[in-house]
Amino acid sequence: MQSAELFTIVGWVLLWALVIGVLTLAALRALSGASILVQVCLVVLATVAVLVAGMVSAFNAMFISARDLEVMWYILAIASVVAVAISLILGAGVSRNAASLVSVARRLGHGEAIGQGEASGQITRGMNSELAKLAEELEASSKSLAESRRREAAIETARRELVSWISHDLRTPLASIRAVAEALEDGMVSDVPGSYRKLIGQTDQMAGMVNDLLELSKIQAGTLRLRSEPVDLYDLASDAIADLMPLAERRNISLDGGGTRECMAVADGPSLGRAVRNVLLNAVVYSRPGTTVHIAVGREDSDAVVAVQDGCGGIPQEDLPHIFETGWQKDPARTRGGTELADAADEEARHETRRYSGAGVGLSMVAGILKAHAGTVAVENVDGGCKFTLRLPAGAP
């Protein structure tokens, strides 16, 4: 074959390839929303068209015989049919598996869970790796969504229970305030100053509940602001002991504040002090009269540790995972300060206990405050009671 003939054939083939390629791209753009089967067939037909156009150009340039030209047309026809058939089979498989993926995605959208290996099993049978990876991602997304729904359901349940418990707890001081106010209005009270003190006490109790809820909302929303400064944890523990000593004395409980006399950490003093006080309050409220609550401050490795051990008799193992849940109470009737504290020395002691009792959010606040300081809080059963351990990195929060 002469060079001129070769250049002519190559030129015609390139021209046909350019024209057919442009037309194919335009058709693909126009059919961008069509099925993948149609698009695959269009690409194969374009390839066959370029091949046919190139062969025809070569035949005309080479001036082959009519018999050879007929044989070539048979070859091209068979090759074209086989190519289109294979593209149809391939496109149908891809389209079928894509439809399966759409079905799985629709189930995810409707909140249905996908079983282990279910999505990938539908796709990976004879399918390419890209769609198989997509199926695996859908299955992983299903697991994540299912876990998120479980967490959301648990949080919503906790919120509903908290609202119910708060309503129950607020009803008691509100009823007491109303009764005292009506008695004062009717002139039926002989001890007027005592009634005013009772009103103030009930108001303080309600204010404590509201403050607890506001603080908890900041913790859960991540808006709790910490001011880092050097803090002596022993001073925080001493302040908590001094604050709760009257309650402990009324309940015949001893407070032992032994431990390291100086334990410095970089933390937010007010919030961390509240966490220590809440843990100590919990120990005093639930310890049996005549027992001792031990508060130890010290260091373990590079952590500053505050440990509070009470005499509550221990916590059932099934309840330990729920101790730091918001609003969780073992007794659904919310009898804290009632039957559980019926062994207090007198009515005044029970009133004092109720004044310190919050809305069932004290320990969840402790967990949130320690988490904000990059620390941890844990509880374990020990002889005669349980032990709460607040662990705080000695560095900045």
Give the CATH number of the domain where residue 249 resides.
Answer: 3.30.565.10
Q: Is residue 188 in some structural domain?
A: no
| 191-230 pLDDT per residue, tens | 888 888 888 888 887 887 777 777 777 776 666 777 888 8
pLDDT for 85: 79
Q: Which two tokens stand for residue 197?
A: 């003190």
Helices 66-109/129-186 angle, 10° precision: 20
What is the pLDDT averaged over residues 13-20? 79
Work out whether the CA dihedral 321, 325, 331, 337 comes out positive or negative.
positive
The top-scoring range by mean pLDDT among 36-40, 348-352, 382-386 is: 382-386
Q: Which residue would you say has higher pLDDT here, 115 or 12? A: 12
Buried-state track 183-201, b at ≥16 Cβ within 10 A, e below 16: eeeeeebeeeeebeebbeb
Average pLDDT score over the chain: 76
Which one has a higher pLDDT value, 77 or 337?
A: 77
Dihedral sign (CA 283, 287, 290, 294): negative
| Residue 23 maps to a domain | yes
Which tops the pLDDT comparison, 236 or 212?
Answer: 236
pLDDT score of 260:
59
Of 112, 134, 166, the domain-final residue: 112
The band of 339, judged by pLDDT with boundaries at 50, 70 and 90, is: very low
Reported confidence tier of residue 348, pLDDT bands at 50, 70, 90: very low
Total structural domains within the chain: 2
User: Which of 36-50, 127-141, 253-267, 280-294 comes out lowest in average pLDDT?
Assistant: 127-141
Whether 335 is in a domain gets the answer yes
Domain assignment of residue 362, yes or no: yes
Average pLDDT over residues 139-167: 77
Q: Indicate whether 392 belongs to any domain.
A: yes
Q: What is the mean pLDDT of residues 8-36?
A: 78
Structure pTM? 0.55
Q: Positive or negative, the Cα torsion across 34, 35, 36, 42?
A: negative
Q: Which long-range contacts (CB under 8 A, 24 or more apart) does 111-114 make?
A: 111/145, 111/149, 113/142, 113/146, 114/138, 114/139, 114/142
CB 166 within 8 Å of CB 149: no
Same domain, 230 and 362: yes
Q: How many residues comprise the chain?
A: 397
Longest dimension (CA), the chain: 131
User: What domain range includes position 46?
Assistant: 3-112
Is residue 10 domain-resident?
A: yes
Instruction: Report the percentage of the chain scoring pLDDT > 70.
Output: 77
Q: Of 112, 127, 147, which residue constitutes the final position of a domain?
A: 112
Return d(Cα 98, Cα 95) in angstroms, integer: 5
**Mean pLDDT confidence for 12-38:** 78
Q: Give the whole-angstrom CA distance, residue 31 versus residue 320.
A: 61
Residue 387: is its pLDDT beyond 90? yes
Paired residues of 217 in beta bridges: none
Which of 84, 112, 140 is at the close of a domain? 112
The answer to whether position 379 is within a domain reads yes
Counting other chains too, the contacts that 5-11 makes at CB distance below 8 Å and 24 or more residues apart are 5/61, 5/62, 8/57, 8/61, 9/54, 9/57, 9/58, 9/61, 9/62
One domain, residues 242 and 376: yes
370 part of a folded domain: yes
Between 181 and 9, residue with greater pLDDT: 181
**Which tokens go with 378?**
């844990």
Residues 294-332 have pLDDT tens digits of 999 988 888 889 999 999 888 888 888 878 877 666 544
Do 372 and 248 lie in a common domain?
yes
Mean pLDDT of 83-90: 74
